[in-house]
Structure 1
Amino acid sequence: MTAYKWSLQEQCHFLKRTGELLDRGYPLSEAVESLLFQLSKRKRDELSQCLADLKEGYPFHQVLAKLKFNQHLVGYVFFAEQHGGLADAFQSSSEMMLKRDLDFEKVKKLLAYPIFLILITAVLFVFVETSILPRFSSLFQSMQLQANFFTKVVSSFGELLPFISLGFLFICLLFAAYYFFIFQKLPQIKQKTMLASMPVLGVFFRLFYTHYFSVQLSYLLASGLSIHEALHLFEKNEKQPLYKDLGKEMIKDLRKGEGLEEILLKYRFFEREVTHIIQHGQKNGKLDQELFFFSKYCLSLLETKIERLMKTVQPCLYMLIGFLIISMYLAVLLPMFHLMEGF
């Protein structure tokens, strides 16, 4: 049976309600069964099949993966099954992903309207450059008048516009080809290192990966596992190739005698401050708590930076739109004034 696509909000709400029922003392299978009646028929049928798998002993993270849940949510469930804090992990992970989805929706709404205005303005600009300005130019020539500087600039830009459009399309195709034929074939750690090295956007990737790694490691350590045992569970995480590869490499370095803080310095997709947190946590014997609070700090900082980016991008887009509109306005009016001066 083909799994029906659950939206991220639906996934988060389902996981959050499951965590709330677990908090009230429900066994996992009963909690899931109680939520069946709150779903649509199609989803209820799918979840009934997955519930049967759960009762047969399949791990819950495999059940969610079968439903094509978000890989980060599946990862949270996988680690929760290892350390036993299912209720808290389900609720915290769903709240975190809901906040991230809300931030993405804000960004999309922020960009959608200005981009729409830019496209409309660009169409009007092309219309002015191809239909109105040529008539002014013909009139200037017939009256032996010189076109003004602004009209020449707009005409020149109109001539360059097809080349600019083709160049932009070529760059997009180049990036798409690189992504599908080269980037996707790179090892996961190399991919994330490249993403974290991107200008402007790299900091968002670093904060997210640091938050995720820190919070999962803190839960595992709080359950009584050693660092080596916790990383071994990372290595067993088949649903998230990055953390599987990361756990494997870090275990090798630990066996060489390297400290955890030294190992993390090798990975550029982690914030440098996490090494100081680990050193401090190992000294005071509260590494799990230090990592947990640092993960919350990373998440808070990530949200703050997203808000700042939105406040910066929006005025810039509207300034660009305003410039294009004023340009068209002057492109029409200045030739008219110039024509009036010629009489």
Structure 2
Amino acid sequence: MHMDIFPNQIFKNKSLKTDIQLRFLNRLSQSLNNGYPLLAALEAFQWDYELRKPAERIILSLRNGVSFDKALEEADFHPTITSFLYFTKDGNLTENIEKCAELFEKRMKHTKKLKQISRYPFILFIIFAVLLFFIKKSVLPSFIDLFQSTPNTGITIKFSIFFINLLFQTMVMIIFITLITALVWYVIKHKWNIERRIKIYHRIPIFRQYIQLHTSYLFATHISTLLKTGIPLKEILTIMHEQKNLPIIAFYTGLMTEQLKKGVYITSLLQSLPLLDPKLGMIFQKHSDRYALETDLTIYAELKAEEFHERLMKMIISIQPIFFICLACFIIFIYIALMWPMFQLIKTV
């Protein structure tokens, strides 16, 4: 997430294959559930050709005193995995790995589904753009030559030329603006502080809903799992504030820590944070007992995970029909724009 590594991220992808990462997590959680210590479970991976190399790198890092999440990062695991397992403690290692594997598997399914759905519309878009360019450069000049001697069709052909030119320029502008916006956002987002970025996220309606769901899920999940280890809430918030992988949660927990230092409970603050679900404040207000709070946060996190999955799948599935409807409308308009002058010419014959 820094400008100086931008070229490397284009030309080099260091991460392991996603299916290998998922298999690694599932095998590790299975071994830990069977009673293996962490290092013994990792050493058993040396029998698997694909898992042996990352396992050896993780073992070496752990023996050098590196934390488990940092060891995974050095073994080129995805940031989704390393950021989730940052909060892992000895007492909740197996549970966190299982949750992380489940979250990463859903992410893989969403990514695969998005690629499958967007591949065909993307190809059609390219074909349509080429066809539109051909019409603009070859067909329209022939139309102008054909109808310039027919005054009755002059207005119609002018309208057709104007419409096709406008459509072509609009497509070019959309592509150009999209590329420039993505490039500019990638460069400047790391220079802006998180408070400013949160304000921008909050102003984007659809994106705001998804990032609120995701942030609320992660917040509830990490607090509930850390509560199980017996760590006081104030210390949990400090741990979450000090991590750098989830900047929104780090910023929000910093505000909560300040509130607790002033002797103010965090319920009212939770309900006012724009990228957290206000219901979290109600859960904290409802329970003073840590066990009841941990139980409710666990249930809430499971519900939010399901809601996030359903909304994301609905959005992904809706991409194709929306694109096809827009493309069909463009094709019909182009057909009318090209055929209408012909009809006008026939009437004059």
Question: Which TM class, normalised by the smaller chain length?
Answer: 0.7 to 0.9
- Scaled by the length of structure 2, the TM-score of the pair is 0.86
Mapped to 2, the partners of 1:67 and 1:243 lie a distance apart of: 25
Mapped to 2, the partners of 1:50 and 1:285 lie a distance apart of: 34
Does the 8 Å contact 2:198/2:275 carry over to 1?
yes
Decide which moves more: 225-234 or 131-140: 131-140
Decide which moves more: 162-171 or 304-313: 162-171
Aligned to 2:74: 66
Instruction: Give per-residue Cα distances to partners, 1:5-43, cap 9 Å, x unaligned.
Output: 213332222112111110000110111121233243xx6
Mapped to 2, the partners of 1:166 and 1:115 lie a distance apart of: 15
What does 1:267-286 correspond to in 2, within 5 Å?
267-282=273-288, 286=292
Amino acid at match of 1:73: I
Q: 2:330 aligns with which of 324, 331, 335?
A: 324
- CA shift for structure 1 position 71: 2.4
Q: Secondary structure at the match of 1:90?
A: helix
**1:99 matched to 2:109:** no
Change (3 A) 1:211 1:18: same
Aligned to 1:35: 45
Decide which moves more: 46-55 or 19-28: 46-55
Mapped to 2, the partners of 1:128 and 1:237 lie a distance apart of: 55
Aligned to 2:193: 187
Aligned to 1:310: 316
Instruction: Give per-residue Cα distances to partners, 1:204-228, cap 9 Å, x unaligned.
Output: 1110011001000001112222211
What does 1:52-131 correspond to in 2, within 5 Å?
52-81=60-89, 84-131=91-138
What does 1:1-343 correspond to in 2, within 5 Å?
4-40=14-50, 44-81=52-89, 84-147=91-154, 149=156, 151-161=157-167, 163-164=169-170, 167-168=173-174, 171-172=177-178, 175-176=181-182, 178-282=184-288, 286-343=292-349
Aligned length, in residue pairs: 338
Percent sequence identity over aligned pairs: 24
Change (3 A) 1:279 1:188: same
- CA shift for structure 1 position 177: 5.7
Mapped to 1, the partners of 2:272 and 2:138 lie a distance apart of: 59
Instruction: Give per-residue Cα distances to partners, 1:280-324, cap 9 Å, x unaligned.
Output: 233796000111111111111111111222343322211111112
Does the 8 Å contact 1:71/1:240 carry over to 2?
no
Q: Secondary structure at the match of 1:230?
A: helix
- Scaled by the length of structure 1, the TM-score of the pair is 0.87
Unaligned runs of 5+ in 1: none
Instruction: Give per-residue Cα distances to partners, 1:87-145, cap 9 Å, x unaligned.
Output: 12101111112112211322232222113212211221232233223323322222444
Does the 8 Å contact 1:148/1:338 carry over to 2?
no
Mapped to 1, the partners of 2:170 and 2:34 lie a distance apart of: 61
Does the 8 Å contact 2:62/2:68 carry over to 1?
yes
- CA shift for structure 1 position 152: 3.4
Does the 8 Å contact 2:22/2:101 carry over to 1?
yes
